[in-house]
Amino acid sequence: AQKVTQAQTEISVVEKEDVTLDCVYETRDTTYYLFWYKQPPSGELVFLIRRNSFDEQNEISGRYSWNFQKSTSSFNFTITASQVVDSAVYFCALSEDYNTDKLIFGTGTRLQVFP
Amino acid sequence: DAGVIQSPRHEVTEMGQEVTLRCKPISGHNSLFWYRQTMMRGLELLIYFNNNVPIDDSGMPEDRFSAKMPNASFSTLKIQPSEPRDSAVYFCASSLIVATSGYNEQFFGPGTRLTVL
């Protein structure tokens, strides 16, 4: 069965600190996709990144970076030099079936960045 | 371009009343998803449609919930009768599935916050 675990319920940091959000997934498929979404206090879900299972290269986008490791079934998300505007709930998600695009979400990690 | 549109944004109703949530997907998208978000259960997929046809409704909690997609530009999620435990944020999302192109990003609407008293 497919499952996404975000063990960190809530993280608090002070502005400019680096923070890593953990994501561990379970799947029996060899082809799958992993995602991160951001949900700011306003409530909408904002797409951050998609990664397919064949591409283990780490990705960096500005202050955001993602570390995908198939050996440990993890897809961790790091924010460098965090800012108050990064405060949000972050969801990791998994899709095994690209013919249907079904997403299985983790329970989310609430990040609070204090000034 | 307009994103996914949901209405109403907020709905407060009394137990036993019928509630209808509406969604307009992004034009040209062929798949539509309804999710529910609660503190206890997080984000759950309720049902999704492909080319207006319901493909998987295994996430629909019970017979009180029903969803329709009469055409490519409109979908409804109905709860009848509503109960306090249905209080949640309901999200609609759409995507364009092309079978050979791999995963396609889902675009989410702003959500409808439902409160059942």
Number of CB pairs, chain A paired with chain B, less than 8 A apart: 60
pLDDT in tens, A23-41: 999 998 888 889 999 999 9
Separation between Cα atoms, residue B79 and residue B75, nearest integer Å? 14
Average pLDDT, stretch B42-53? 92
CB contact under 8 A, A99 and B113: no
Beta strands per DSSP E along chain A: 3-5, 10-14, 19-21, 24-26, 33-39, 46-52, 59-61, 64-69, 74-79, 88-95, 104-105, 109-114
Q: How confident is the model at residue B99 (pLDDT cuts 50, 70, 90)?
A: low
How does residue B39 score in pLDDT terms, banded at 50, 70 and 90?
confident
The reply to whether B2 touches chain A by the CB within 8 Å rule is no
Are A100 and B107 a contacting pair at CB < 8 A? no
Flag whether residue A102 sits within 8 Å of chain B, measured between CB atoms. Answer: yes
Looking at residues A104-109, what average pLDDT do you find?
94
